[in-house]
Amino acid sequence: MPTVSGSDIALTIAHAAWTVDGRAGHAVTVNGSLPAPLIRLKEGQTVRLSVTNRLMETASIHWHGMLVPFQMDGVPGVAFPGIPAGETFVYEFPVKQSGTYWYHSHSGLQEQEGLYGPIVIEPKDPDPVQFDREYVVMLSDFSFLHAHGIFVKLKQQGGAFNYQHETVASLLAAKDKTLRERIGWGKMLMDPTDISDGTGAIYTYLINGHGPKDNWTALFKPGERVRLRFINAGAQTVFDVRIPGLKMTVVAADGQNVRLVEVDEFQIGNAETYDVIVQPSEDKAFTLVAEAVDRSGMGRATLAPREGMTAPVPPLRPRPLATMRDMGMGMGAMGGGGMPGMSMPQTAVAPPGMAPPKPRGSDVMGAMPGMDMSMLNPLNAPNVKLGPGVQMIAPMPLDRTGDPGQGLESVGHRVLVYRDLIALEPNPDPRTPTRALDIHLTGNMERFMWGFDGEKFSETTRPYAFRDGERVRVTLINDTMMTHPIHLHGHFFDVVQGAPPGHRPRKHTINVLPGGKVSWDFTPVPGDWAFHCHMLFHMHAGMFQVFAVRPLEGGAA
């Protein structure tokens, strides 16, 4: 992988022809490379990155997971105006952290076209993780169909690229759901096979820019400790990662060190990073599998002692089906075909000693004509603006930080869950939050409408407001039947998932499973910070907001 480093780095964004698995296509590249060059930095240095835009449209680069001044964050319309065609913008900031991160465009759909690359930052102190060699493993989804063409088709038809629907044959063979269950799902206008918007029908899944046939290969000597820095740069794909025959020891999540966790597989949401150590002892090859969550395809690479060696590639596993649990039905309705509890309200309650969740003040409006109002009980979500963009409100959302992810519930080996993660270093701010905020992830999968609290970004009247230095608990509640990886710019947050006090895992992106909820505590720093789903087309359709953080003298939030 091309690598750049130092205090002054030049990057050029341009169009390029790109070949994947022998087929010619188009990409947006940086310095002629896909992924963009690996940027290697050192904690404590200051870096100047001169980015030249050779496209015919505005471009940008966001430094994902980096703690930078908000003017350097790279979000057009929020942090800066963007980089006009033919011009150069200089990003300059101190490097305040170490670990595995990445960078990508925040303009239009350029990220889907290939504008993404890895960042590795060496720690200023001795690294607690010992290894003999390391590799970046950047996962992504490449399409020969233009990104805007993909978006148009998603808006025209729900599940446009889902070719794995339930069939009469599967019903007769007693596979999948019963007839009664299928009728129930049909009445709700919901498809239990709609796990991913983008699928293997349009995507080739890449590892470091290589398709499965290209077979990117990483070399090792038997007995070596190999550090693999996984980054999910997929525009629309959650990946399930495993290396059959090898255990993986997770040592870092989102660039932050964690206590060692040995697993056989992990699910990695869009924009998350995981560092793992593997130690192959045999003189043989191993296949690295990055399987799309809907099982419509996979990325494939090889770990081997010598070039040219390969290992068997496992077949795709059966595709998962959404359940009542994914609809926010709680434990009692798992696997049932009926709708028990659909109209039961759940009122949000703040943790002990904290102010109650504060709605933004949106009025509750009428629902879509003909919609089943039991799916839209406003008592569950008084701050949600009901309308065509809200297909349902989860009646009993669960904390799913102990779940392995859709399709991994019964694979027969150990899968990483968020509750396994314990921060290696103490959390820098152990204060108890003084207020709480619920944010609902809302959408209409049939109409491909997405937003927060029932509003897409173009409809919102004001951002989420915070005060510099306060301590806030945010709870994300997923009222949709699709996983959403949610990212907050410019911050790390401490995930509330049962870790020992003061050692909660610190992340910048978190998967919120369907019908689930996740709470995290954070300390806002001044600036206007993007907050959005990292499914690119969800963000493009409206699942984007701003966290506006003002100094204490700037008034109440």
What CATH code is carried by the domain that includes residue 11?
A: 2.60.40.420
3-state secondary structure at position 382: coil
3-state secondary structure at position 276: strand
- Does residue 160 sit within a domain? no
Phi, psi of 479 (to 5 degrees): -95, 20
- Does residue 36 sit within a domain? yes
Write out the residue range of the structural domain in which residue 30 sits: 3-126
- Look at residues 207, 104, 174 and name the one whose alpha carbon lies nearest to residue 487: 104
Q: Are the C-beta atoms of 501 and 430 separated by less than 8 Å?
A: yes
Structure tokens at 481: 């039947």
> How far does the chain reach from its first CA to its final CA, in angstroms?
45
- Does residue 269 sit within a domain? no
Which residues, 6+ apart, have CB-to-CB distance to 461 below 8 Å? none
- As beta bridge partners, residue 27 has 16
Tell me which of 111, 126, 141 is where a domain ends. 126
Tell me which of 126, 144, 172 is where a domain ends. 126
pLDDT in tens, the chain (557 residues): 899 999 999 999 999 999 999 999 999 999 999 999 999 999 999 999 999 999 999 999 999 999 999 999 999 999 999 999 999 999 999 999 999 999 999 999 999 999 999 999 999 999 999 999 999 999 999 999 999 999 999 988 777 676 665 554 554 555 555 555 555 555 555 566 668 788 889 999 999 999 999 999 999 999 999 999 999 999 999 999 999 999 999 999 999 999 999 999 999 999 999 999 999 999 999 999 999 999 999 999 999 999 999 999 999 999 888 776 776 676 543 333 333 333 233 333 344 445 444 444 332 223 333 444 445 666 678 888 888 888 888 888 999 999 999 999 989 999 999 999 999 999 999 999 999 999 999 999 888 999 999 999 998 888 999 999 999 999 999 999 899 999 999 999 999 999 988 999 999 999 999 999 999 999 999 999 999 999 999 999 999 999 999 987 644 44
- Look at residues 104, 159, 100 and name the one whose alpha carbon lies nearest to residue 127: 100
What CA–CA distances, in Å, run from 529 to 317, 349, 464, 493, 526?
39, 27, 10, 14, 9
User: What is the per-residue pLDDT for 342?
Assistant: 31
Return left, alpha or beta for 540; rule: phi > 0 is left, psi -120 to 50 is alpha, else beta. alpha
What CA–CA distances, in Å, run from 434 to 79, 411, 503, 521, 523?
28, 41, 19, 10, 11
Which residue has tokens 């006009």? 84
Q: Are the C-beta atoms of 522 and 487 separated by less than 8 Å?
A: no
User: What is the per-residue pLDDT for 321?
Assistant: 81
Which residues, 6+ apart, have CB-to-CB distance to 406 below 8 Å? 195, 293, 320, 322, 326, 483, 513, 514
- Look at residues 62, 57, 70 and name the one whose alpha carbon lies nearest to residue 117: 62
User: What is the per-residue pLDDT for 177?
Assistant: 54
Number of structural domains in the chain: 2
Tell me which of 126, 152, 178 is where a domain ends. 126
- Does residue 517 sit within a domain? yes
3-state secondary structure at position 168: helix
User: What is the per-residue pLDDT for 176?
Assistant: 57
- Does residue 197 sit within a domain? no
Phi, psi of 94 (to 5 degrees): -75, 145
- Look at residues 56, 62, 57, 54 and name the one whose alpha carbon lies nearest to residue 30: 54
User: What is the per-residue pLDDT for 375?
Assistant: 56
3-state secondary structure string across 311-336? CCCCCCCCCCCCCHHHHCCCHHHCCC
- Does residue 172 sit within a domain? no
Q: Is the dihedral of CA 426, 427, 429, 431 positive or negative?
A: negative
Our CA angle for 344, 345, 347, nearest 5°, is: 150
User: What is the per-residue pLDDT for 186?
Assistant: 57
- Does residue 289 sit within a domain? no
Our CA angle for 18, 226, 95, nearest 5°, is: 70
- Does residue 373 sit within a domain? yes
Give CA–CA dist 322/479, Å, rounded. 14
Give CA–CA dist 506/503, Å, rounded. 9
User: What is the per-residue pLDDT for 369?
Assistant: 37
- Look at residues 288, 167, 277 and name the one whose alpha carbon lies nearest to residue 216: 288
